[in-house]
């Protein structure tokens, strides 16, 4: 368990500056129209505006699950970045999404994610995706991420005395 305070708590403006426009630099995030709306210590809020070319079922006009996966994966990643004590690379280990109800056609999609535990090597995240009302989620999700910085790896044990 690490008890280091997050970079966000120490330097909120710096983190906002880095991650506020961070997703514009990611080709696929740009492709989906992903927007960072807000963030705090260990959490992030993202949005994908409704678009006809993001639809999964042409008969119903409902957004494809893959759009939701990208949104949630990105929101979870942002939450972890806002919880880490310093900038470091992370990788998604796994992601589980429960589809609670079909998304309403024509409405934008939001995801709020929270990193609720950070260990030396792993970040645990949960996320809720919704449209107009955060109390009426379309999906909930849990994810784990692997940290990659050298400092997150346990130092080797000193050799035992003879």
If one asks whether residue 73 binds another protein (CB under 8 A), the answer comes out as yes
Select 59 or 135, whichever has its Cβ closest to another protein.
59
- 8 A C-beta contact, residue 16 and residue 39: yes
DSSP 107-132: --EEEEEEEEEE-SSEEEEEEEEESS
Q: Does 65 sit near another protein (CB under 8 A)?
A: yes
| Residue 150 in the binding site for another protein (CB under 8 A) | no
Kindly report the number of other CB atoms within 10 A of residue 21's CB atom: 10
- Does the footprint of another protein cover residue 67 (CB under 8 A)? yes
- If one asks whether residue 105 binds another protein (CB under 8 A), the answer comes out as no
Total interface residues for another protein by CB under 8 A? 37
d(CA 127, CA 141): 5
Segment interacting with another protein (CB under 8 A) among 21-29, 38-46, 130-138, 149-157: 21-29
Q: Strand ranges (DSSP E) for 12-108?
A: 35-40, 43-48, 55-57, 62-63, 90-99
With CA atoms as reference, report the closest residue to 5 among 119, 115, 90, 86.
86
Between residues 29 and 78, which has the closer beta carbon with respect to another protein?
A: 29
Binding to another protein (CB under 8 A) within 22-61 occurs at: 25-32, 52-59
Binding region for another protein (CB under 8 A)? 25-32, 52-59, 63-67, 69-74, 91-99, 102
């Amino acid at each position: 368990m690490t008890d280091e305070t997050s970079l966000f708590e120490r330097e909120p403006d710096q983190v906002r500056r880095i991650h506020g426009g961070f997703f514009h630099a990611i080709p696929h995030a740009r492709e989906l129209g992903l927007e960072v709306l807000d963030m705090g210590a260990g959490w992030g809020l993202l949005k994908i505006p409704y678009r006809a070319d993001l639809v999964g079922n042409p008969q119903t006009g409902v957004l494809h699950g893959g759009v939701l996966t990208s949104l949630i994966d990105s929101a979870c990643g942002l939450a972890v970045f806002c919880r880490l004590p310093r900038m470091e690379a992370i990788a998604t280990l796994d992601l589980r999404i429960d589809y609670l109800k079909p998304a309403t056609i024509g409405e934008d999609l939001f995801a709020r994610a929270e990193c609720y535990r950070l260990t030396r090597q792993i970040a645990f995240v949960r996320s809720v995706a919704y449209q107009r009302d955060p109390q009426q989620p379309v999906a909930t999700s849990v994810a784990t991420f692997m940290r990659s910085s050298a400092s997150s790896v346990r130092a080797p044990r000193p050799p035992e005395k003879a």
